[in-house]
Amino acid sequence: MLGALTHQVLHRWMLRVPSVNMAVMPLVTPTDLPLVFAFSLSRWLEQIRDLRVFQQHVVQHQWASLAEVYPRSLIWMYAYLLFTWGRYCRCLPEILQQPDRCLPAEMFIRYVCEIDRYVDSFDSRALWRVHARQFKARPQVRSVATELCAGVQQVGLGASVCRGMINLILTYRREALMTMQRSADASGDNLPQVIRDKEQTAGNLWRVWSRILGYLYGTSADTAERAAQVFFNFGMAVQIIDDLSDAPADHAVRAENLFLAVAQTYHADWERLQRHFREQSAPFLDWPWARRYTPTTYQATLELYQGYFDRLRCDTYNAAATQRLCIMLDRMRTLGG
């Protein structure tokens, strides 16, 4: 009983939202202790040094930050991801010494988060029949979109570069919404189609994020394309971990979910999983339960994850940087269960 209570308190303490952005976040807090164990003391200290330099050079202290929707632990991981992108593209010093330039990339993720929050507030399939175009009128979405456009223009990279970034963002939004509309109209969750849908949304989200950073820091076309593919594979691996965790919540609102789509290809596992959701109401999947009672589905989902992980690990353009992403994924998967 005491252990369960302690776990609940720590969970709420670590996942408090909103938190504070990278410009003003404390370099060290007690909530970082799990990150120290997960990433090792040396890597945690390296992250602190990078954040200190970032904060010394940043001028803008308020923007449409992910800290308004994510806890500190995820902001820490976003910073780790951003700095790893800089290492991969061999422009980390520019990110640390010109940090204001990277802010539109974070605003882009925040913009997508605001759309996702609206979508997640409805039964996913009913949403697209009744509320399909209302998200753009929501004050939160419009506010972030306005700040994002202003942030792109403030970077001062020229009209053609700004247009390129805006067009990239608009193309992502249009294609992602078309994908979500198509999935809402589908009669079932066909696994190959769900994989393609997730690649078009979750995987492409991080590919576009990487390309935005490429615009912002002027990386070569070859480097930008290599980095975009690396972060696409990273994004898909993260999405599979996320879908494992969110399976009960996604099942409740009939949202597309890779774990659930895999389960539907194995009749016995699917029946057992649905019965478990009816009997045990919980926002997150019990991974040990899934390993024991839906082993075929669980193993098939991990094999899907492993495919993206292996493509990431086999990248040779900057193996040291991709190894950092692999370490992050392994730690996330371990912490997830």
Give tens-digit pLDDT for 191-237: 999 999 999 999 999 999 999 999 999 999 999 999 999 999 999 99
pTM over cut 0.95:
no
pLDDT of residue 7: 38
> Is the pLDDT at 3 greater than 60, yes or no?
no
Report yes or no: 325 and 230 within 8 Å, Cβ to Cβ. yes
Query: What is the full DSSP assignment across 83-132?
Result: HHHHHHTT-HHHHHHSGGGGHHHHHHHHHHHHHHHHHHTS-HHHHHHHST
Report yes or no: 67 and 25 within 8 Å, Cβ to Cβ. yes
Q: What is the mean pLDDT of residues 100-118?
A: 92
Share of the chain above pLDDT 70, in %: 88
pLDDT of residue 4: 36
Q: Which residue type does 271 have?
A: E
**How many CB atoms within 10 Å of residue 143?**
13
pLDDT of residue 46: 96
pLDDT of residue 121: 61
Cα 52 to Cα 171: distance, rounded to the nearest angstrom: 35
Query: Dmax of the chain from CA atoms?
Result: 61
Judging by beta carbons within 10 Å of its beta carbon (0-12, 13-18, 19+), is residue 291 exposed, middle or buried?
A: middle
pLDDT 10s digits, 37-52: 888 899 999 999 999 9
pLDDT of residue 139: 82
Indicate the pLDDT class of residue 280, thresholds 50, 70 and 90.
Answer: confident
The full set of domains in the chain, from first to last, is 2-336 (1.10.600)
Cα 326 to Cα 254: distance, rounded to the nearest angstrom: 31
CA 29 to centroid of chain Cα atoms: 23
pLDDT of residue 5: 40
Q: What is the mean pLDDT of residues 266-270?
A: 96
Query: What is the full DSSP assignment across 184-251?
Result: HH-SS--HHHHHHHHIIIIIHHHHHHHHHHHHHHT--HHHHHHHHHHHHHHHHHHHHHHHHHTHHHHH
Indicate the pLDDT class of residue 128, thresholds 50, 70 and 90.
Answer: low
Report yes or no: 281 and 291 within 8 Å, Cβ to Cβ. no
pLDDT 10s digits, 141-167: 889 999 999 999 988 888 988 999 999
